[in-house]
Amino acid sequence: MNAQRLAGIAVEREARARRQRSDARLRRRRRMDGLARRSMSLLTLGVVLLVPLIAGALLVRAWPVLSAVPLHELLLGTTWHPLKGIFGFRPFIAGTAWVTTVAMALAVPPSLLTAIYLSEYAPQRLRAVVNPLVDLLAGIPSVVYGVWGMLAVVPFVGEHVAPALDHWLGALPFFRSDNPTGYGILSGSVVLAIMVFPILIAVAQDVIRAVPQGLREASLALGATRWQTVRRVVLRRAWAGVVAAVVLAFSRAFGETMAVLMVVGNVPQVPRSLFDAAYPLTALIANNYGEMMSIPLYDAALLAGALILLLMVLAFNLAARTILVRLVRSE
């Protein structure tokens, strides 16, 4: 009788202890979960704040030159003479704009046509060979593109393309050539264009392939040719993604330093022709970081250059995104 009761109490006690243990364990697991959530959340906050942080740090360090020289002189001035304290960024901003624009003009049409060909026309077997190759090439470092540019593009542009275009189109504003070296905007743009081919092709293909097959079949069943289907159905559906791919490639080309630096000539002038030498912002910073601490205001000016670069790429990215969102919504 007594023993039975005692046994019952023991069992109950045991059960309670087990419950408490498992409660404690659950609490501990929950606490770990909450801790992980909070620390991860903090980390993501860091990511969100990183761009403002970079911009802020650059702004602080660039402040000496920003406060000493009026902003319009800094952005629009065409003279760059650090020893005299004259910092006009116009040649460099223009250089960056020229090289990137021409590169995108050269890169986008052929890459899109290639992407359309690979996703809509090419047989599966060809795709299976080409796409891994494209992925592989996307990883090739930009400095290698630069080496190739110096070996192949610069001489070719200098000896053949520039004289020919100067001869035939020299009367037009952008084609006059008085730079026989080949180091200039066109060479830089060609190198950049080839550098962004793989990104453009890979992303555009993904986007195009995501268009539902049923849409294509409906169009083809109505008697449209393949190209008509591509142009009126597939591209209409996929173009927001295609634009996003172009933005991605643009960012890459815009911020590229080494490949451009090696072939673009690096002359601080506002370029007026495709064949002029230019001096993009990235090249300016990379070429002069070594002596920037020895000349007053020079370091502030170069960091201001980095700030301008950052703000340009931010503005472009956000503008493209806003337009995209609005257009996608209105469709």
Partner 1 sequence: MGRRKAKVEEGIFRVLMIISAVSVLGSLVLILGTVVWRGLPALNLDMLTQTPKGGYYLGKEGGILNAIVGSLYLAGGGTLLALLASLPIALYLQIYAPRTRRAEIIRLALDVLWGVPSIVYGAFGFLIMLALGMRASLLGGIIALAFLELPIMARGMDEAIAMVPQALKEASYALGATRLETALRVIIRQTLPGLLTAVLLALGRGIGDAASVLFTAGYTDRLPDSLLSPAASLPLAVFFQLGTPFPAVQERAYASALVLTAIILVLSLTARRLTRRLTKHVIR
Among 20, 78, 228, 322, binds partner 1 (CB under 8 A): 228
Q: Please report whether residue 264 would count as binding partner 1 according to CB under 8 A.
A: no
* Closest approach of partner 1 to the CB of residue 11, in Å: 25
Q: Please report whether residue 113 would count as binding partner 1 according to CB under 8 A.
A: yes
CA distance 96 to 104: 12
Residues numbered 9 to 28 that lie near partner 1 (CB under 8 A) are none
- Report residue 267: phi and psi, to 5°: -115, 125
258, 331 in Cβ contact below 8 A? no
Which residue, 27, 220, 234, 221, is CA-closest to 117?
234
Nearer to partner 1, 27 or 81 (CB): 27
Q: Please report whether residue 137 would count as binding partner 1 according to CB under 8 A.
A: yes
Q: Please report whether residue 65 would count as binding partner 1 according to CB under 8 A.
A: no
* Closest approach of partner 1 to the CB of residue 1, in Å: 41
Q: Please report whether residue 117 would count as binding partner 1 according to CB under 8 A.
A: yes
Which of the ranges 68-76, 87-95, 172-180, 315-323 carries the binding residues for partner 1, by CB under 8 A? 315-323
Q: Please report whether residue 257 would count as binding partner 1 according to CB under 8 A.
A: yes
* Closest approach of partner 1 to the CB of residue 286, in Å: 6
* Closest approach of partner 1 to the CB of residue 320, in Å: 10
CA distance 186 to 86: 29
Sign of the C-alpha dihedral computed for residues 90, 96, 101 and 106 taken in this order: positive
Q: Which residue has the tokens 């049409």?
A: 109
Residues making up the chain, counted from first to last:
331
Q: Which residue has the tokens 């996929």?
A: 238
Which residue, 320, 205, 194, is CA-closest to 253?
194
* Closest approach of partner 1 to the CB of residue 67, in Å: 18
Residues numbered 26 to 55 that lie near partner 1 (CB under 8 A) are 29-30, 32-33, 36-37, 39-41, 43-44, 46-48, 50-51, 54
Q: Please report whether residue 59 would count as binding partner 1 according to CB under 8 A.
A: no
Q: How far is CA 241 from CA 200, 247, 254, in A?
A: 11, 10, 20
Q: Please report whether residue 210 would count as binding partner 1 according to CB under 8 A.
A: no
Nearer to partner 1, 169 or 310 (CB): 310
Q: Please report whether residue 197 would count as binding partner 1 according to CB under 8 A.
A: yes
Residue 278, beta-bridge partner list: 265
Among 24, 76, 143, 210, binds partner 1 (CB under 8 A): 143
Angle value at C-alpha 46, between 44 and 47, nearest 5 degrees: 65
CA distance 304 to 35: 40
Torsion angle (degrees, nearest 10) of CA 121, 125, 130, 136? 140
Q: How far is CA 283 from CA 91, 93, 304, in A?
A: 12, 11, 14
Which of the ranges 13-21, 84-92, 175-183, 220-228 carries the binding residues for partner 1, by CB under 8 A? 220-228
Among 109, 155, 173, 180, binds partner 1 (CB under 8 A): 109
Residues numbered 272 to 301 that lie near partner 1 (CB under 8 A) are 282, 285-286, 289
